[in-house]
Chain A
Amino acid sequence: MELSLEQKFQEKIDRDERIEPRDWMPDSYRKTLVRQISQHAHSELVGMLPEGNWISRAPSLRRKLGLMAKVQDEAGHGLYLYSAAETLGVERDTMFDQLHSGKAKYSSIFNYPTLTWADIGAIGWLVDGAAIMNQVPLCRCSYGPYARAMVRVCKEESFHQRQGFEIMLTLCQGTPEQKAMAQDALNRWWWPSLMMFGPNDAESPNTKQSMAWNIKRFSNDELRQRFVDMTVPQAELLGIKIPDPDLKLNEETGNYHFGAINWDEFWQVVKGHGPCNKDRLAARVKAHEEGAWVREAAMAYAEKQENRLNKAKTA
């Protein structure tokens, strides 16, 4: 019996082979990937803003260079990811339009403000830590260009995570004022970091299909649990307290039980009502609009050059 295109596609996935841009794929697979990869790319781009906010105020030359390099890496990640999404037939400008109009989402974590230097440590430690949990399995994602982009992204993210932890460690070994700053940052970033894994499995209708397509390898709740289990001992090492009175080690499973996540807050921020949603989007729109003349000029110049070359050839 002849297999349908869709059956052949699924068989390939089931053999854990990669799908490449020219391969046949179901529309829904393509759409899911475009949504996920562009969302991921947007998160890198918007994610530059809260940390970029501290570049001019970083406390030492070493920290300034480290932070600049980190934020620049995020721009690079955005670039790989937009390129990966482009292989699915969507232009970067279209994706930008979707971001700017609010149609496309980005990770809600970047809608929280960076108020003190410790926030730069906490973002590296927690936010990049959570991102790695999410992203390492994506290195084995069924879509080839995405998987390959993620290999590079993950290498850099793990460096960022260590850099963030090291900032926290320095604060925690510093003066009482510095340690309090670290504790405050943990208090503010802990719960939003847990929310980064998305809604509970029962509330996440797309997970099943994404797992069948090998886009996703683990459920939101599984990854969240791993993150908590990894992070609790690190907080103990730092000597600061995770702001969850219900946090408790389950001796039988070896997992940490944690308290209820405030999903109302999560959905409010997703809807655009987080503390920085408006500022973040406005900053992106401003950069894009104010850059329009630069992009137009570059195009015009390239065109002129091409004409000059053609003229020279025919002359």
Chain B
Amino acid sequence: MKNNDLFKYTLQLADDVMILGHRLSEWTGHGPVLEQDIALSNIALDLIGEARNLYQYAAKQEGNGKTEDDYPYKRDVLQWTNALIVEQKNGDFAQTIVRQFLFDCYHYYHLEALSKSTDEQMAFIGAKSVKEARYHLQYSAEWMVRLGDGTEESHARMQQAIEDKMHYFEELFIPTAAESRLVESGVAVDLAPIRVKAYAKLNEVIKESTLKLPEDIYTQQGGRNGVHTEHFGYILAELQYMQKSYPNMQW
């Protein structure tokens, strides 16, 4: 018997990393430095790898012959429950790094806690991915500092990126109803302490980068309920192109 809350939670975690990985992979071949092209591709591979583990778990929970590909390739906009931050456009390298760093602040501490989930499979996925996420956070934090404290131009671009992206940070720490119910049984991660850790890291790195958080931060949210930004349909148009053009074939 499927636990609906767990199923929703699994998809929500999967959707975050699926979409961010997809976005990052748009950099492959177009990076500002060859080494960073490789690094961004690496992170993208890790994130989609994590998504794949979670989608496989979702398929197992459904147990009706669905596969890992059914979720990313056959659901429409309203069924996706990723946070809005991951679907934002790559923009310039500063926008990509800030988006990545904000997500990593959440993702790393979240996985660390997830690895202690009372759900065995969740704990396994958390433990596996946290090693990668530790490196992601280190990578994006280093670039926050390097670009924030680099040249006048890089500083200005980073400050702009912070202004543009901060509004999407808080959504990562707002639990859904299903999530809250799962916290009680120790399956889902309680986001309150994760939020404290994430903000501590954020403040530390912002300071070292010589950047400033915007004074007026409002929170954009909706992704967890399927209410996305306008970018999202275009992501799906590409992601699902083959499934839409040639339904039900093996590739």
Contact = CB atoms under 8 A, between A and B. Distances in A.
Interface of A: 45, 48-49, 52, 55-65, 68-69, 71-72, 75-76, 78-79, 82, 117, 167, 170-171, 174-175, 177-178, 283, 286-287, 290-298, 300-301, 304
A79 B72 contact: no
A301 B146 contact: yes
A294 B233 CA distance: 30
Interface in B19-75: 22, 25-26, 28-38, 41-42, 44-45, 48-49, 51-52, 55, 68-69, 72-73
Contact of B250 (A58, A174, A291, A293): A174
9 contacts: A52-B28, A61-B48, A61-B68, A61-B72, A63-B251, A72-B28, A174-B249, A178-B249, A291-B33
Nearest to B150: A297
Given A60-B251, A170-B250, A296-B150, A82 B34 contact: yes
Interface residues of B, number: 47
Given A55-B25, A60-B251, A300-B150, A72 B42 contact: yes
A300 B153 CA distance: 11
B173 interface: no
A301 to B, nearest CB: 5
B157 interface: yes
A287 B151 CA distance: 19
Given A57-B241, A64-B25, A291-B93, 18 more contacts: A52-B28, A55-B28, A56-B25, A59-B243, A61-B72, A64-B48, A72-B28, A75-B41, A117-B242, A290-B32, A290-B93, A291-B31, A293-B151, A293-B157, A294-B93, A295-B33, A301-B145, A301-B146
B45 A293 contact: no
B44 A61 contact: no
Interface of B: 22, 25-26, 28-38, 41-42, 44-45, 48-49, 51-52, 55, 68-69, 72-73, 92-93, 145-147, 149-151, 153-154, 157, 238-239, 241-243, 246, 249-251
Given A56-B238, A60-B251, A298-B150, A68 B36 contact: no
A91 B243 CA distance: 45
B45 to A, nearest CB: 6
A309 to B, nearest CB: 14
Given A65-B49, A117-B251, A291 B150 contact: no
